[in-house]
Amino acid sequence: MVQSLAKGANFVYTYISAAYKMPLFLRSTTLNYIVIDLEWNQKIHRGSMRALGEIIEIGAVKMNEDMEILDELCIVVRPSVYNGMHPHVKKIVHLDEETLANGVLFEDAAKQLRDFCGEEFCFLSWGDEDASILMENLAYYGLELDFASYHYDMQRIYRQQKETEPGQNQRALAWCVEALGIEAQEGEYHSALTDARYAAQILKHLDMERAARDNSGRYYPNSRQIQSHFAKFRTHAQQGQGLPTCKFCGKPSRVILDMFSFTGNSMIVIAHCKDHGYFSSIFSRKRVRKKNPNALRGTASKQNKKQD
């Protein structure tokens, strides 16, 4: 039952991807563009490892292929991972504690977002961070990942199609709004819906047929990233923990590791099976010794003492 459901979900995903690559005249249905912007909170005392960025606000604008705005969505998410806001986040987002406390749980927010997207869609956002943050949060709550894995980075598309200065590759949203002469939208920057509205206006200036030819739209690491993900997994997972295997086919050989996130003593791994799509696993993190691990060995510890 579960297996057939998952296969179904994977089929839908494959169909969505294939549909978009099809020439317009062959497609019977249309694709929605979901321009999304997220605000997230971070761990206050960040260690050397990448901690979960907890989504606190979701803003999205739905457009059709003629770039007409169909609908908007704004959801405040009640924080449940970290106590207190990171000072930097507190300074830039426009959400007070009362608003956050009245927000919805992430599971409900994710369902609202899923329903908002419609049948065939792809996500678009400014930069590549929103895509990973969304995947990370879905993984943290053990929710379906495939629906969020079809995602284009508009900052990159802007660079490919509009950039005139060589070497400029990370234009700020506000800079592009100014450069394209886009009129002021309701609300302030760093409010999820306002940023999504600005990005939606920028999208009207971009050629998505060309963008689909130039970029895969797949949330998929490159070979260099895959290598570093495997290395990180070996470094941070407790000894004896094998690589994650696909829950449906059980084949580790068909799985690539994609991303890691850390919360407390757990490590959340996002993996991708070539046949069954994205899935997440939780692993125990290796205990971090505060002292120099060499201190356990006699000679090394004496040497360390001399150095001290």
Stretch binding Zn ion (CB under 5 A), from 53-61, 63-71, 85-93, 271-279: 271-279
Residue 246 C-beta: closest distance to Zn ion, Å: 3
Pattern 119-138, binding to Zn ion, x per CB under 5 A?
--------------------
Nearer to Zn ion, 67 or 249 (CB): 249
Residue 247 C-beta: closest distance to Zn ion, Å: 8
Residue 132 C-beta: closest distance to Zn ion, Å: 22
By rule CB under 5 A, what count of residues binds Zn ion? Answer: 6
Residue 224 C-beta: closest distance to Zn ion, Å: 24
Q: According to the binding rule CB under 5 A, does residue 95 interact with Zn ion? A: no
Nearer to Zn ion, 13 or 40 (CB): 13
Closest CA to 77 of 51, 43, 61, 53: 53
CA within 13 Å, CB half, 167: 0
Burial 93-126 (b: 16+ CB within 10 A, else e): bebeeeebeebeebeebbeebeebbbebbbbbbb
Pattern 273-302, binding to Zn ion, x per CB under 5 A?
x-xx--------------------------
Pattern 231-270, binding to Zn ion, x per CB under 5 A?
---------------x-xx---------------------
- One-character DSSP codes across 48-104: SS-B--EEEEEEEEEE-TT--EEEEEEEEB---SSSS--HHHHHHS---HHHHHTSB
CA dihedral 256, 118, 111, 248 (to 10 degrees): -30
Give the pairing of strands 69-76 and 255-263. unpaired
Applying CB under 5 A, the residues found at the interface with Zn ion are 246, 248-249, 273, 275-276
